[in-house]
Chain A
């Protein structure tokens, strides 16, 4: 089962290396990892999607990560009421003869076109992974040249921040 973990860490050089090193050393299955600054200058938030066979494996991931000195807190967002999103940018073939069809798909998915030239265009899409997968699937017929995805980020609904969730 997939779990989304919000990992709050010290904003210091080498922390991401520590985390990714630990994940590979302990042979955990990680689907995605996304890091970025937060509301606090000295804190980085890393969202990790882990595929754990059972609760024991998940517990190991959380406990081992917690042992890293620079990890401040880990919150399993899986059971929480949350919003999660991913951003994708897709470079797709869009020659004049098919451009209208591609634009049509972009509109249906409420995506944006952020660059266009004679041969291709870049589409920016935000949403849950399934939505991005679905769009990529449709665009495949026109010829996808490049896909870049951020990996999932997630946040809890309601007034509390992750720091405050116990």
Chain B
């Protein structure tokens, strides 16, 4: 069928079941926007291209579908970079469509020209520059396939302006043929057998779950395995929600701000089974002393993750859907009672660590403490909300004090640590999940980095609840300055005359401030039960630290605990 390049793109998006696009028009994509409008394609207009890409990311993380965003050439495209890099680090499937100057103008430093393909090469799974309209269908077919299969990731398609108007005899390819891209599904079953043998001999086995479980939708597998065997389990930041916090065998997050029980278990385990993790430096602490007594097993879909940071004794390469299913089958060869008998003493040991030094804060403080706010929100939402955070102290407190129950219920920029992620990602998550409560936890610093998206939230009347934990500092920066730079708070103060409540109201989102401890629960409940969007600002003490903390370059068991439990 004959049509324009712009119409062909819309056909491609329909074929890929794209429900909604997050985008911002501009010169080089005008023809595409003209066609989108004519086709009445669902489109959300964030107020900044960075907002568009984070929104597509929040949509993708919460729904499991590929997020799609559009930006114009030059500055539009370069504004996407932080968001693309954020998605790349956390393996989030995105397709970013950018306009490029017309074919005849490429390479001449034309108005709004940027080599976005070159710029995004290190932060995309793959990218395309389309200079011939006939290449469009194949590029779109491949882009969506690459984004969602294997280890997911962002793909960028840069399209020269004249391609949108060029005529094409459209036909969407039925299948993808790429010699260089064949994602592994099933791997080597003997490796699974080997893990099973090791596991039967281990005295102190430990599962370590990561973002890969969330991404591959295999939370049910690991829950079943843990419940059947009683083997203790810990998580990375990205793995939160894979295991319900109610599971008694679950000991929380490990790493720099991990739990005492979790970090001690990692130090003492004799068999660490990493599932969809990448042993990031925030998890391992001093790399050569990480899990020093353990044989390490690494389940991952990406062979390049094995031995990148931590040396694995056994690798199981393949989709977790395959490997965990096979592993589960093996495990069922022994009775649940046998497994429990084997690991119970070890479980009791970790439990004792946890009871000895639980996560704590001053529970009857006169001031409102961030941990209390998060526990309260956690109680009110009862694990049924999608929680989005920005980056910094509030992010770590959320990871520590929130009771996550479901996979894909915690959206955060883990790998790149992108401040400004929270508000637009919450917007995208709410668009993808209109019936679920979405709560965005922000600091005062990160909130300001993309607060313009309050306008989009207000105009669409999306019922996102935004909580700003305002300590008037870049909290995590200040914490490091407090601990490692002799309290020299170099430019980390955000004390300001600005009023977040007024900013929010001016952008169309009703807002109020919670100031009294005794009314906190009640007012949080009021905010979270309100229809439509609400912003709540809560002043918290300037000097509250995230603890425990493993200093950079230290071992996981060298945590700074601070204070004592009550």
Contact = CB atoms under 8 A, between A and B. Distances in A.
Contact of B179 (A10, A18, A59, A60): A10
Nearest to B308: A60
Nearest to B305: A63
Contacts of A56: 307, 311
B470 to A, nearest CB: 37
Interface in A68-82: 68-73
B307 A60 contact: yes
Contacts of B308: 60
A90 to B, nearest CB: 34
A17 interface: yes
B304 A60 contact: yes
A143 B178 CA distance: 51
B180 A69 contact: yes
Given A10-B179, A10-B180, A72-B180, A67 B121 contact: no
B122 A14 contact: no
B223 interface: no
Interface in A7-23: 9-10, 13-14, 17-18, 21-22
Given A18-B121, A21-B121, A66 B178 contact: no
B122 A66 contact: no
A21 to B, nearest CB: 5
A69 B146 contact: yes
A53 B179 CA distance: 30
Contacts of A64: 304
Contacts of A67: 302, 304
Nearest to B127: A14
B563 interface: no
Contacts of A10: 179-180
A14 B307 CA distance: 29
Given A59-B307, A60-B308, A70 B122 contact: no
B179 A72 contact: yes
A39 to B, nearest CB: 15
Contacts, number: 41
A22 B176 CA distance: 25
B118 A17 contact: yes
A69 B126 contact: yes
Nearest to A22: B122
Given A56-B311, A60-B308, A68 B180 contact: yes
Contacts of B180: 9-10, 68-73
Interface string B94-120: 000000000000000000000001100
Nearest to A68: B180
Contacts of B129: 13-14
Contacts of B303: 63, 66
Contacts of B122: 21-22, 25
B484 interface: no
A9 B181 CA distance: 11
Interface string B478-499: 0000000000000000000000
Of residues A59, A60, A69, A70, which shows the largest number of chain B Cβ atoms within 10 Å of its Cβ? Answer: A69
B539 interface: no
Contacts of A73: 180
B125 interface: yes
Nearest to A24: B122
A67 B184 CA distance: 12
Contacts of A63: 303-304, 306
Contact of B304 (A17, A18, A66): A66
Interface of A: 9-10, 13-14, 17-18, 21-22, 25, 56, 59-60, 63-64, 66-73
Interface of B: 117-118, 121-122, 125-126, 129, 146, 178-181, 302-304, 306-308, 311
24 contacts: A9-B180, A10-B179, A14-B117, A14-B121, A14-B129, A17-B118, A17-B121, A21-B121, A21-B122, A22-B122, A60-B304, A60-B308, A63-B303, A63-B306, A66-B303, A67-B302, A67-B304, A69-B125, A69-B146, A69-B178, A70-B180, A71-B180, A72-B179, A73-B180
CB-CB nearest 7 A-B residue pairs:
A63-B304, A69-B126, A72-B179, A72-B180, A69-B181, A56-B307, A63-B303
Given A13-B129, A67-B304, 19 more contacts: A10-B179, A10-B180, A14-B117, A14-B118, A14-B121, A14-B129, A18-B121, A56-B307, A56-B311, A59-B307, A60-B307, A60-B308, A63-B306, A64-B304, A68-B180, A69-B180, A70-B180, A72-B179, A72-B180
